[in-house]
Amino acid sequence: MTNFKRTILALIIASAAIISPAQENLSALLPIPEKIECRTGEKAFDLKYAAITINDCEDSPYIKEELERIIEERTGIKVCSSKGKKSIEIVLSEEKGKEEYSIEIDSRHIRFTGGSEAGIFYALKTFDQLLLGDAINSNEGKVAPIHIEDSPRYGYRAVMLDPARHFLPVEDVKQFIDRMACYKYNVLQLHLTDDQGWRIEIKSHPELTEKGAFRNPKGGNNGPDNGYYTQEQIKELIEYAAKRHIEIVPELDIPGHSAAILAAYPELGCPFRHGDAKEIGKVTNMMLCASSEKAYKVYEDIIREVAQLFPSKRIHLGGDEAAVKDNWAQCEECLALMRSAGYKKPSQLMNIFFGRMLEYVRNNGKEAILWCELDNMWPPANDYLFPYPKDVTLVTWRNGLTPKCIELTRNNGHKLIMAPGEHTYLDYPQWQNDLPEFNNWGMPVTTLQKAYELDPGYGLKDSEQEHIIGVMATLWAEAIKDINRVNYMFYPRGLAIAEAAWSGMEQRSWESFKKRLYPNLYELMKQGINFRVPFETGGK
């Protein structure tokens, strides 16, 4: 028997041990809802005699289709739409918040109430998990009585995929969207440009994809090294995600991580580097030139097209790991610009560079997100390298620096997204010696338990964390070549982050999470979704 087959067999045994007794219908709820009232002793609702009625959201047939699909897949019952003895009601209520919902089940009624269609959608996802966790009742076409009231801790619950490093075809991204929606994520950030590839069509500059999207002459046109999304494909993904109440945020990484665009337009870099080889995927320290007017013009065009394409109000512009010493500090034109601006350090040219780039974002009615580099936030204001404007949302990411980032963003009036590397960087190995395809930069280990231990508010008083708007799990793809590896690195740790983003600390428990995890892993296996089996959670 191969190791793979042993792994699957062990998972089946572990899953069966948990779900076969059917337990209660809470055993698969993930993320855990805010308030749950189990009504033991009452009769179950019999789906065989049910009819669906919808109030206020008749224009969204997907909601009804999704409910019918869930019931048929879990019970084998096709619920009729005509009058029945028992009712399943879907109701919108202005008294609830946008993503807030409730589920009320007794022997005669099931009622899903949401503050919007998003709230109804999340109610259906929770209902799906109720049926998954209560196998005996579900097999008989019944649902145990229960009352659930639920709303998210954070309104921004994101996953970042990185098709720039290794391209992910459209159908693979759709598959990932389907599963992340099950766990109430509502933002997908696509890292579309980096040293390893330019992955989005820009019609005003076709050279970006003609050259920047292909780094392997012997490879095909649909990943992992080659490929890009046409604007029609981006629209298709946006529509697909929106149907599942997921917003897609584009990321264009500047001024560093720019080898792919410089392969197409070498003149956008500093003049002294124009003749350097631009081998896409292997050059990691090249930057756009702060003094290049053409660089600004090209990015004005890029930002305009991207802003018109994506409905999201946000565009992520990167801003991390800029190799200033290897570029601007050696560029005569940049040094002349520095002196004329009265700056003392080449890194202060970030004020000019992002001053113009952020204006392009604002002119297109969007808001910018940047990775938070703390050098830009202290020491005192007159020595700032690049004091972030207050309308920029920042993302904390560097290991160990998040507490300081929370403090500085709070003091400076910034909104903050939590992606601390030690908890949410899911390209890190999940267990000692359980590495990606190659250990590309000495990554630390982030176990499932370490991911689950994330408290996005870091235990602070409410008044000290009010500026935190959400959480983001990240999947940097230097060593993640396809969707199977994406899923392996994301699951089950992505489920831990989902609960951290949705559920309050008072509802969360590691011991409870472990028990609720296995039915969901069993479901992933049935769906053909790759994941790492968390053997370490077994035993006492």
Residue 194 annotated to the active site: yes
H/E element holding 475?
A: strand 468-475
Enter the tokens of residue 442: 């000495």
Rg of the chain on CA atoms, in Å: 25
Please tell me the number of Cα atoms within 13 Å of 87 on its side-chain side: 10
Cα 433 to chain centroid distance, Å, stands at 26
Task: Kindly list the strands in the beta sheet with 109-114, ordered across the sheet, starting from the edge strand earlier in the chain.
Answer: 35-38, 146-150, 101-105, 109-114, 86-92, 50-54
420 contacts 371 by C-beta, under 8 angstroms = no
Provide the greatest CA pair distance for the chain: 81
Residue 171 CA, chain-centre distance (Å), reads: 17
Among residues 191, 257, 316, 414, the one annotated as catalytic is 257
Q: List 161's β-bridge partners, or say none.
A: 190, 475
297 CB contacts (<8 Å, ≥6 apart)? Answer: none
Let me know if 482 is a catalytic residue.
no
| Helix-helix angle 293-309:231-243, to 10 degrees | 40
Of 346, 341, 316, residue with least CA distance to 328? 346
Give dist(CA 99, CA 119) in Å, integer. Answer: 4
166 annotated active-site: no
- Decide if 186 contacts 502 (C-beta within 8 A): no
Catalytic residue annotation: 194, 257, 321
